[in-house]
Every structure is written in structure tokens, then in C-alpha cells.
Amino acid sequence: MQVGVIPSKRKEVLMKVLFVNPVMFSSETKKVQRRNNIEDTMAFGLCKAFEENGYDITLYTCSSYEPLDKLTYPFKIIFEKPTFPFLFHPTIIPRLPKLKGFLKKSKFDLIICSEAFSLATYTCVKQCPEKTIVWQEMASYQHTLYQLPAKYWYNFIVKDKYKNVKIVARSQKAKEFISQFSNNVSDIIIDHGVDLNQFTASREKQKQFIVVSQLVSRKRVNKTIDNFLEFCKKYDSSYQLIIVGEGESRKDLEKQAKDSTFSNRIHFKGFLSHNQMMDDLSHSMAMLVSTERDENMITIDESLACCTPIITTSVPFTSSYIKEKELGYVDDNWSAKTLEECIHNNHMLVNNCFIERYKQGYSYKIKQFLEAFRQ
């Protein structure tokens, strides 16, 4: 195990909190593409917020996601090397056997674990059931091996071993799913959240739309481009489409844009850090999502933190929230006309985003966790 930490100088610590999050970010390949740093990940942001709010926080994760740059952090991070990775793959269900010993010798007031279907979560449930919250993201069985391992796990392990453990869902759909296997699911729903200090909110929007996405087939960025090109043809060709992200489909998407009449209106910017893309994201009319298989998208939370409305399919779990609060448009067949309507109603949509913005912040999420824990 490796630890990176800057010792805290706080006079008083509110609680000792452990966040067990073995899979730090999604990987499109079986080999994890390690990043230079992990500061843009949800886990890092949430832990940083805990630390800034006066909590002694430790992040426990898999070393497969350890950043390439050897940095020090404002809180303790433990990277444990996974064992038997050919069987317990680090991108799916890492096996971290040293976690058990760590829990035995450490004293925490609250433990937050990602996912019920997790060996690390099971370890926490067995060792510290009264102190553990299971933070459930999945709203269906994991697909590996025809769903058989996940079906066994939820129907036997969760139903039997998780009886006395509080479960908090990250969406209404996740709540409905996990409630099939537990009677101890909180009514409080806690989605990912963002650092509001890192995301600039703006009412001043420019004549542009933005995509922030991996450039892979399931994201259907090609469909987004088609809809934007139709918008340019039918309504207004002075708008721009900014595409932020990298992926195996980039060359094909660039060719699609280049072969169009409005090629000069589409701009590929590659992968950008939060700071690098902030100006484009906060000043766009909307962020565009055409995904066919992404339940939870942190980029949606980031866009809403910038008070930039969302145009999306109904696939992301936050789509029901977007529709209910009128923070954009939810339509599996959104089109050029949707972009036009977004422009026409942009002032109202942006204003709604400002009203709801505080709910995107990590500080609000922390209050929700503590409320769920004390129930």
C-alpha cells in the first residue's frame, strides 16, 4: 500500500471518515489508462470537500488508478495493489485484501463505500456494518459473464449480509433497483456532485453549443454533429459546436465534420482539464448528450454547475431531474428544432440552473450523507 498525504493543521476534527472507492474512473479498455493526476475525479473532489469542511478523510482505492505524477495531497490516499487481477479485474471488481487489516487497526466514525456489488464494500460491511453507508450507483445487474455473478451477489449476498447496513442511492433509478434487495435504503438520493469553486457559473452565453465526452461509438457524437449541422442549415449557421474529448472515434468524427458544408463551425479541442474547458462550458447555450449507454455522467453535473443547460437522451439517470426542474431538454430523438427551442428559452433554463446550482456542490452532498447516516 502506498500513501500520499499532507498532514492536516486543523485544531478540531469533526469526524474520521473513510471513502472506499476502488474504481476511480471508468476505462474503455481492460488496461487502465493511468492519468497524470486524479484531481478531476469525483472521489478526489468529494474527499477534498470533506477535508475543507473539517473532517479527517481517507480515500482508499486501487493502485491501478494511481496517477503518473507523484504528488502530495491535502488528505490521506491509500493505493492498494489488487490481487488476482485476471479473475477480479481492476476495472470491474478489484480485490483489495489488505483493506480488512486496515479497518481492524483504524477507527472511523463513518465509512462510505461505492457500490453494493464490490469485494471492498463487502469487507467494510462485514467489519463495520453500523458505520458503513453503501453508495449505490448501478441501477441494473453488471453485464459481466451474462450477469450471473451480479445476480447471485444481489440476491444472496446483499439480501443476507447487508441487512443492517444503510444504502444510499445516487439516482431514483438506482434506488428502485437496490430496493429490491434491501429494506434499509434511504429516501435521500445523493448524486455525484462537483466542486462549485472550480466551476464558473455564467448567465452570459455565446453563440455556441458544447460536447464534453469520450469520443467513442456509444456516446453517439456523430448523431450530435448531424443534429448541429441540420440546425445550421435550417436555423442559424453562425453558431459553433465545440467538442471536448478524445477517443477512438475522433478521426471519423473529424472527417464527418470536414465533409460537411459547415465544417468551419465545428471545433475539436481534444482532452482538456476543468480549468482549460471552463470558459467554453460556462458560456455555451447548452451541453449536448446523445449517449445510448451511460447511466451516470459527471459531465452533466459539471455543466449544471456552470449553469449551462443540458440537451440529452433519457439514458442518463439525471435526465428525470433535468426534466422535472426544467434545466434543459430530455428527448431520445432531440433534433435541430430542440437546439432552436433551447436558444429561444435559454434565459429561463439558465435561471433554473442558478436556482438549483447549490445542490450540485460537494458541501451539500456531505450534509446529505450525514443526514442519511444519522437517520
In the prediction, which pLDDT does 225 show? 98
With residue 220 as reference, give the H or E element that holds it.
none
**pLDDT confidence bin for 3, thresholds 50/70/90:** low
Average pLDDT over residues 115-134: 97
Q: In percent, how much of the chain has pLDDT > 70?
A: 96
* Predicted confidence (pLDDT) at residue 6 exceeds the cutoff of 80: no
In the prediction, which pLDDT does 65 show? 94
293: exposed, middle or buried (C-beta count within 10 Å: 0-12, 13-18, 19+)?
exposed
Question: What distance in Å separates the CA atoms of residue 2 and residue 232, rounded to the nearest whole number?
Answer: 52
Q: Report pLDDT digits (tens) over 62-89.
A: 999 999 987 789 999 999 999 999 999 9
Question: What distance in Å separates the CA atoms of residue 27 and residue 34, rounded to the nearest whole number?
Answer: 9
Q: Could you tell me which residues are beta bridge partners of residue 243? A: 211, 268
In the prediction, which pLDDT does 70 show? 79
In the prediction, which pLDDT does 2 show? 57
Determine if the pTM surpasses 0.75. Answer: yes
Q: Report pLDDT digits (tens) over 222-235.
A: 999 999 999 999 99
CATH assignment of 2-190, among 3.30.70, 3.40.30, 1.10.3470, 3.40.50: 3.40.50
In the prediction, which pLDDT does 40 show? 86
Cβ–Cβ < 8 Å for 348, 326: yes
Mean pLDDT of the residues in the chain: 94
Fold equal for 2-190 and 208-359? yes
Q: Report pLDDT digits (tens) over 322-337.
A: 999 999 999 999 999 9
Task: Say which residue the cell 465526452 belongs to.
Answer: 213
In the prediction, which pLDDT does 12 show? 60
**pLDDT confidence bin for 348, thresholds 50/70/90:** very high
In the prediction, which pLDDT does 334 show? 98
Average pLDDT over residues 189-209: 94
208-359: CATH topology is: Rossmann fold (3.40.50)
- 141 DSSP assignment: -
Task: Say which residue the cell 447471485 belongs to.
Answer: 152
Q: Report pLDDT digits (tens) over 273-323.
A: 889 999 999 999 999 999 998 777 889 999 999 999 999 999 998 999 999
Q: In percent, how much of the chain has pLDDT > 90?
A: 85
Q: Report pLDDT digits (tens) over 245-257.
A: 999 999 999 999 9
166: exposed, middle or buried (C-beta count within 10 Å: 0-12, 13-18, 19+)?
buried
Question: Domain ranges in the chain?
Answer: 2-190, 208-359
Cβ–Cβ < 8 Å for 356, 327: yes
In the prediction, which pLDDT does 10 show? 47
With residue 208 as reference, give the H or E element that holds it.
strand 208-212
